[in-house]
Chains A and B, each alone.
Chain A
Amino acid sequence: MNKDILICGVGGQGTVLASKLIASAFMHDGNTVHSAETIGMAQRGGSVTSHVRIGDSAFSPLIPDGKADLILCFEPAEAVRNLKYLKKDGTVIVNSQPVKPITETLENTGYNGSEMIEYLKKKCKKCIVVDANTLCESLGSSKFFNIAIIGVAAGSKELGLDNDAIVKQIETKVKEKFVEVNKKAFALGFSIGEKHAA
């Protein structure tokens, strides 16, 4: 299998864990996997991306422009920022809740993400918009959205892995006390994703 998945958001939203789970799930499925993260100075409130590359013909650690099959994004503007990576017929799954940088708060320009979501809908062949706050309401915190979005990807069949493959990784890779709530987040996302399955 050859597949390129970009996971992006803002520092602190759980991009790294999400990409680790996806990478190891594909590996357990017998695939060659490479990945890369942007870490360092960019981590503090900055844009964060993880590139997960599945298959034997991926040599660059980063996904080349226009090659990503799937973008999972935790923030509307970050999805637009990384849209250059998406294939022409690729899919974007995006959280509609914005994260305002401090520069935005200082200038109070009223950014709320909606303009970005409209643009994504216009540009992408398939764009699944999920409100993380609504989805995660019953979980007590939207910080579990990073797992829920993998559920959406799996449920909509965009990920190309089944339910069990991810759940197994949650059980082995996530801290024990968070396993149950993350499994619940995944299941919630999965059921939303199923509604978007082609």
Chain B
Amino acid sequence: MKKEYVMGNSAIAIGALCSGVKVVCGYPGTPSTEIIETIYHVPHENVHLEWSVNEKAAMEVAASASYAGARSLVTMKQVGLNVASDPLMSLAYVGVKGGMVIVVADDPGPISSQTEQDTRMFANFCRIPVFDPASPEQAFKMVQDAFEYSEKYHTPVILRPTTRVCHAYASIEFDENYSVKPFDGFEKDSSKWVIFPKLSFKNHAMIEKRNVEIGKDFSEYKFNCVLNPKAKSRKAVIATGDSFSYVKEALLNTDDVTLIQVGTPHPLPEDFLLKALDGIDEVLCVEELSPYIENEVLRLCGKHHLKLNVYGKNTNHMPLSGENSVALVSKVLDNFLGTKISAAINFTDDAPNLLVRPPVLCAGCSHRGAFYAVKVAMKKKKAYFCGDIGCYTLGNAKPLDMVDTCLCMGAGVTMSQGFNFVDPEATSFAFIGDSTFFASGLTGVVNAVYNEANVIICILDNSTTAMTGHQPHPGTGFNLMGNLVDKVDIKKVLEGIGVHKIVTVDPLDLKASVAAVKDCAQIKGVKAIIFKSPCISIVKPKTKYEITDNCNACRVCIKKLGCPAIIMKGDKVSIDESLCVGCSVCAQICPRKSIKEANHE
């Protein structure tokens, strides 16, 4: 056995390998990314590992592997499941043969996501089981259990960790001699694997019956458990996910309250809950995102005529949005139990005003050049700037202020078209990164060409998936199997679709970039500008720039670019040498030509 101190995501990855997983697919997205990255970095002989082009593709690749009897793992963040929901809904009806676990990382807060959606609701909607770990240790065990249940009941199973579980570290012990679980291969049977209304009707009834069975099975599951079952109090707390850990810590010195963990929210372990709530008059539900368990307990109360007061989000005892913490939970518990566990922590009330640190584009980021060039070219002209999901969402920050909309992956390309149709006089721009372009920008370009939109699609090609930590994608020329592959050429793709005009330009060459934008703005139809320059985190700098004595501190560079490397030292403008990567954009805009390449002697 090997003991390792790992991140929750790594614990999930190792758990899957210990379960003999054969195919692993996913699309990067915080907080789920490190699952696939871990598998890439640890031994994984005979495992097919891929960053899929998007979550839908990942789900489908994994599904057929499971049809063939192999164990498969799919990973994504919660909004990724929206993209993959089409295959998943149908897959829930068809079922699987080899164990299939879908890890969907939820993000209460949200800390780095667009929504606070609750994947437990999604599991219920799909009618498939979901496991909800409270810690990295539990996630490690649950992913292995999830494979067993998936095979036992021939259904895809969701494991739903949240950010604090994904990014927490703990020690896990495992047998490092894992290997791919042998499988039989695909047995053709169109009555089983081809979805038709007749099959869906039959399987729907089967699934509902089966879920009752799984609920009974889950009632015996180790992570549906009661702490302090002998407590005399007639009050109980039900907690799920990381909230269970918060409540457990808050109640460390209180053993008079029954604490119930529900580790499998769907199908609900009804028998377990009925037993755990026997003799209880009041129950507080502590969970993040939706009041899922709370509503389920209310349903139980109706179904079994329980005389039980249920508190939580519905009763405003718990906040409806945001993440929980020990401090938050302690206050609610004090209110519910009449305890005094929440220490009065207000000794920082008189703190001086704190500066905010909004996320910004890195010093020297090539996206800054692209946004600035479009801004200059469109000065005093009416234009719409549709952003997308990636580092370049940060183009919204002042002083660039170049993102008018951001909705979801790929939406910028299509939303620019809507603006064009309602306001043809203005120029509509879409900004999309290279990875996002492949993930979900392509179909939008086809839509633009087909429906005769007049838009300029700016592809910010930095040759990586930067925001999530530099994962390769179809345009990078290598994949997770360690192979060099043909790059999917964005320019050729655009040509193939029929884009009228395609310009490739270096965003760090402002003059050329501004000219390219102005040129495209004069032409009707779908135009594309590929702003091509590698992410500065991958291609290391060669030169640095410095401010010369000629500088009169007009601060134009600061006010126009907002580069974090340009700082004020007293009254003087200065370039932080440790941050500058020599992009030269500031030197190009300095009115007095006072920024020069630094001499290295």
Contacts and interface: CB of A to CB of B under 8 A. Distances in A.
Interface residues of B, number: 55
Interface stretch (B57-65, B203-211, B340-348, B495-503): B340-348
Nearest to B563: A102
A143 B397 CA distance: 27
A62 interface: yes
Contacts of A32: 171
Contact of B249 (A41, A57, A116): A57
A108 B111 CA distance: 29
A60 B135 CA distance: 8
A34 B170 contact: yes
Given A40-B31, A57-B249, A101 B355 contact: yes
B358 interface: yes
B539 interface: no
Interface stretch (B115-123, B276-284, B416-424, B564-572): B564-572
B554 interface: no
B249 A64 contact: yes
Nearest to B34: A39
Contacts of A45: 357-360, 362, 564
A65 B357 contact: no
A80 B351 CA distance: 7
A103 B347 contact: no
Contacts of B42: none
B167 interface: yes
Contacts of B249: 57-60, 64
Contact of B358 (A59, A67, A101): A101
A39 B167 contact: yes
Contacts of B31: 39-40
Nearest to B250: A64
Interface stretch (B240-248, B378-386, B437-445): B240-248
A70 interface: no
Contacts of B357: 10, 45-47, 101, 103
Contacts of A77: 354-355
Q: Contact size class for A?
A: 35 or more
A141 B578 CA distance: 9
A24 interface: yes
Contact of A36 (B167, B171, B246, B563): B167
Nearest to B559: A106
B398 A105 contact: no
Chain B interface main SS type: loop
A61 B326 CA distance: 10
Interface in B127-181: 135, 164-165, 167-171
A92 to B, nearest CB: 12
A190 B169 CA distance: 27
B308 interface: no
Contact of B355 (A37, A67, A104): A104
Nearest to B169: A35
A123 interface: yes
Nearest to B562: A102
Interface in B213-268: 242, 245-246, 248-250, 252
Contact of B359 (A23, A37, A46, A65): A46
Tell me which of A77, A101, A105 has the highest count of chain B C-beta atoms within 10 A of its own C-beta: A105
A143 B564 contact: no
Tell me which of B250, B325, B326 has the highest count of chain A C-beta atoms within 10 A of its own C-beta: B326
A84 interface: yes
B484 interface: no
Contact of A41 (B30, B343, B345, B568): B30
Given A62-B325, A106-B562, A35 B168 contact: yes
A36 B354 contact: no
A142 B72 CA distance: 46
A66 B325 CA distance: 12
A61 B578 contact: no
16 contacts: A23-B5, A27-B5, A35-B169, A40-B111, A42-B111, A42-B112, A44-B362, A59-B248, A61-B242, A62-B164, A66-B345, A102-B564, A106-B399, A116-B352, A119-B352, A123-B348
Interface of A: 10, 23-24, 27, 32-47, 57-62, 64-67, 77, 80-81, 83-84, 88, 100-106, 108, 111, 115-116, 119, 123, 141, 143
Given A62-B325, A64-B327, A102-B564, 7 more contacts: A40-B112, A46-B358, A61-B165, A64-B249, A101-B356, A102-B397, A106-B562
